[in-house]
Amino acid sequence: MNKAKRVDSRLIPSRRTPSRLRTAVLTALSMTALLAGAPAMAQVDTDPIADLIDEPGSAGLGFLYRFEESPYVDAGQRTDLLPLYLYEGERFYLNADRAGVKFIDDDTHRLDAFLSRRLEGFAEDDIPDILEGMEPRNAGADFGLRYRHTLSWGTLRATALRDVTDTSNGSELRLGYSYTWAGDRWNLRPDISVSFRDADLNNYYYGVKPDEATPDRPAYAPGSGVDVTVGLYGTWSFWQNWRLIGGVAVTQHDSAIENSPIIRDGLQPAVFAGAVYDFGTAIARWDDADVPLLVKVFYGRAAGDGCHMVKIMTLSCTSLDHDIPSSVIGAHVGRPFVERINGWPIDFHGYAGFLYRNEMNNISPDAWQFDAYMKGFFYGFPWSHRVNTRIGMGAGISYSNHVPSPEVVSQARRERPTSKLLNYLDPSIDVSLGDLFGNKDWKQTYFGLGISHRSGIFASSRLLGSVNGGSNYIYAYIETTL
């Protein structure tokens, strides 16, 4: 552990702010999506939570609220929503903050390579007073290798992380131990982890560069150091495939970090609370070969100004944006997870796919967008036995390599940041073409209308860029089963 010291500009380097189709597509683009978003409060090792809710062959949706004391002086407390998009295949996986591939996975050993979001730094739209005038400390993304070894007396893990976005250029090694008590419906896991952080990582997030120094905020470089986190996490299963998630953790930062003029003294506590619904293990594994493939193609246009999703769904506003025109064309593929859940006329499907956005304006360049989502369908209408009619609602993630023009305009109007990664909603209504035209071969082919909606969840999630707003595209589609 290096001794903390005050330094001049020569000692602080400058920083620049900087097979199967479904699994391959989901993992590759999810990894890319993890590179987007906005900074959060302080880095948290999510391994203990993720390991409690991963089950082979499953997929799910949920949320996790984090209540945390900021490490920065007089920054107070923040509440942050972390959406949970979960997928656990034989080789590929996606959880709260990472996506990766498993090289080894058995009852004793697991070896992963992954990309993960580093939820660390401070938000550009909520800068503490002590940090005024400093360059933003942005969230980055790490490439990681993790090894987990499970024994009768507990689980050992080692994780090596390296920034790959030229944000901090830092590295970190985490060593951890946990033990799980399990009941019929609950799990409880105490956990301890030790983080060995290099100088680049600590200097970026907790240091003060010479050109940022003031009389009350002298230049400072913490150097390398060791942080220790102790936590207690648990889950409780209830009502079919629902699980509650909870936990408490406390982090002791290295003294070199605490000596920084922008960091407060003392422990950093955090509380976690959330829930997750597992779609994948109810009737079949997501990667079963005999599960049919769903293919959906669509074309749409950007909704008019003021036509938000609820207005479009209730038909109180269906106009298109002719002032800043923008169109999308795309294809999503998916598979069903659950049919007639609890005997009700409700099915759940999972989808992933691309769309191409043609920006017919000078605000944003044309872009590719990747969407991955779970979608529920209700078809219990009195006439559905004659013409099957479905109302659907999907929820998941959306990543665009360029922010859509409707979001650029609306966020500029609010003087709020934008984000390439946002939450995705997909309400729709469709009818069976086979029923409509009396053709049995088209029974599982549907024509419908939908809304492609990107949302920041009312600025509640820093993973999604603290965005308060989004965009809506009204589209027509055909979906069939292969």
C-alpha distances out from residue 99 to 71, 106, 206, 438, 456, Å: 27, 19, 27, 44, 21
Instruction: Quote the CA–CA distance of 341 and 242 in Å, as a whole number.
Output: 13
What is the model's pLDDT at position 15? 33
3-state helix, strand, coil in the chain (%, to 5): 15, 50, 40
Residue given tokens 């983080």 in the structure block: 195
Tell me which amino acid residue 366 is: D
Q: Given this model, what pLDDT does residue 207 score?
A: 94
Which of 406, 394, 401 lies closest to 467 in space, CA to CA? 406
pLDDT bin (cut points 50, 70, 90) of residue 372 is: confident
Is pLDDT above 90 for 213? yes
Cβ atoms within 10 Å, residue 387: 13
Per CATH, 18-278 and 294-481 having the same topology is answered yes
The correct CATH number of 294-481 out of 3.40.50.300, 3.90.1140.10, 2.40.160.20, 3.40.50.20 is: 2.40.160.20
Q: What is the pLDDT, as a whole number, of residue 28?
A: 33
- Out of 3-7, 205-209, 220-224, 269-273, least confident range: 3-7
Residue 32 scores a pLDDT above 50? no
Better-predicted residue by pLDDT, 286 or 334: 334
CA–CA gap between residue 327 and residue 475 (Å, rounded):
9
Q: Are 83 and 46 in contact (CB under 8 A)?
A: no
Quote the CA–CA distance of 332 and 160 in Å, as a whole number.
Answer: 35
Banded model confidence at residue 10, pLDDT cuts 50, 70, 90: very low
pLDDT at 27: 35
Residue extents of the structural domains in the chain: 18-278, 294-481
Mean pLDDT in residue range 72-93: 80
Closest CA to 268 of 72, 130, 118, 96: 72
Nearest to residue 180, comparing CAs of 159, 149, 157, 153? 153
pLDDT at 35: 33
pLDDT at 194 over 70: yes
Compute the distance between CA of residue 460 and CA of residue 81 in angstroms, rounded to an integer.
Answer: 6
User: What are the DSSP calls for 36-91, one per residue?
Assistant: -S---SS----HHHHHHH--TTEEEEEEEEEEEE-SBTT--EEEEEEEEEEEE-SS
Distance CA 265, CA 277 (A): 39
pLDDT surpasses 70 at 164: yes
Q: Which residue carries 């990107």 as its tokens?
A: 454
Whole-model pTM above 0.85?
Answer: no
| Average pLDDT value for residue range 70-80 | 81
For the domain spanning 18-278, the CATH number is: 2.40.160.40
What is the average pLDDT across 120-128?
A: 70
**Closest by Cα among 74, 16, 67, 14 to 42:** 67
Question: Does the pLDDT at position 421 exceed 90?
Answer: no
Burial of 232 (0-12, 13-18, 19+ CB in 10 A): middle
pLDDT at 387 over 70: yes
- Check pLDDT > 50 for residue 25: no
Count CB neighbours of 414 within 10 A.
Answer: 11
> For residue 474, what is the enclosing H or E element?
strand 470-481
* Whole-number pLDDT of residue 97: 73
**Rounded average pLDDT over 273-287:** 67
**DSSP 8-class letter at 438:** T
Query: So what's the pLDDT on residue 342?
Result: 74
On the question of pLDDT at 5 being above 50, the answer is: no
Q: Which two tokens stand for residue 277?
A: 């619904």
What confidence category does residue 280 fall into, taking pLDDT thresholds of 50, 70 and 90? low
Residues 390 and 435: beta-carbon distance below 8 Å: no
Residues 281-294, mean pLDDT to the nearest whole number = 63
Closest CA to 50 of 152, 148, 138: 148
**β-sheet bridge partners, residue 391:** 378, 429
State the pLDDT at residue 34: 34
